[in-house]
Amino acid sequence: MPSYSFVLNGEKVTVEAPPDMPLLWVLRDLLHVTGPKYGCGVGVCRACTSHLDGEEIQPCVVKVKDCADRKITTIEGLADGDTLHPVQQAWLDCDVSQCGFCQPGQIMAAVALLKKTRHPTDADIDGIENVCRCGTYARIREAINKAATKITP
């Protein structure tokens, strides 16, 4: 079986896996990184949203072979030690989570948005396609706007 090396949340890892195995299963089943959640398996619900080389991806539809020698960041890699990323802190401050299942993906999508758009409009935030079955979209918007004021350019 081939092996693939990449940087996961700042640490170089190597894993043996079939080349067409979805990255989500490599993360969850082989590397025991459980922040990205399995929701639909086709990239629609976005509960698994993570970053590949700083860009938002859905690891349920990205093959591990396409991640070799690249940088993967999951929700577990956002904080700086005990200091939460501003988006994570805003999520807590605005009491966004209800069931919490979609929140890692929501946060990762928000981080990607704020990386591209320093002061997002409501339309920019509405462009985040992550599904929240609890319907906390108003608090998600509030948290993204709050985090935007805390992120330094």
Contacts of 116 (CB under 8 A, 6+ apart): none
Say yes or no: 111 and 48 in one domain.
Answer: no
The answer as to whether 12 is a domain residue is yes
Say yes or no: 72 and 94 in one domain.
Answer: no
Say yes or no: 7 and 65 in one domain.
Answer: yes
Angle at 78 between CA 149 and CA 19, to 5 degrees: 135
Q: Which domain holds residue 132?
A: 86-150
What is d(CA 96, CA 118) in angstroms, rounded to the nearest whole number? Answer: 21
Which of 57, 76, 95 marks a domain boundary? 76
Q: What is the pLDDT of residue 151?
A: 85
Which of 45, 76, 107 marks a domain boundary? 76
Q: What is the pLDDT of residue 122?
A: 94
Q: What is the pLDDT of residue 77?
A: 98
What is d(CA 153, CA 150) in angstroms, rounded to the nearest whole number? Answer: 10
Q: What is the pLDDT of residue 153?
A: 64
Say yes or no: 17 and 65 in one domain.
Answer: yes
Say yes or no: 21 and 72 in one domain.
Answer: yes
CATH number at residue 128: 1.10.150.120
Instruction: Work out how many domains the chain is built from and give that number.
Output: 2
CATH number at residue 59: 3.10.20.30
Q: What is the pLDDT of residue 129?
A: 94
Q: What is the pLDDT of residue 70?
A: 98
The answer as to whether 64 is a domain residue is yes
Which of 52, 76, 100 marks a domain boundary? 76
The answer as to whether 81 is a domain residue is no
pTM: 0.95
Residue pLDDT tens, the chain, 153 long: 999 999 999 999 999 999 999 999 999 999 999 999 999 999 999 999 999 999 999 999 999 999 999 999 999 999 999 999 999 999 999 999 989 899 999 999 999 999 999 999 999 999 999 999 999 999 999 999 999 999 866
The answer as to whether 38 is a domain residue is yes
* Cα 113 to chain centroid, rounded: 11
Say yes or no: 91 and 123 in one domain.
Answer: yes
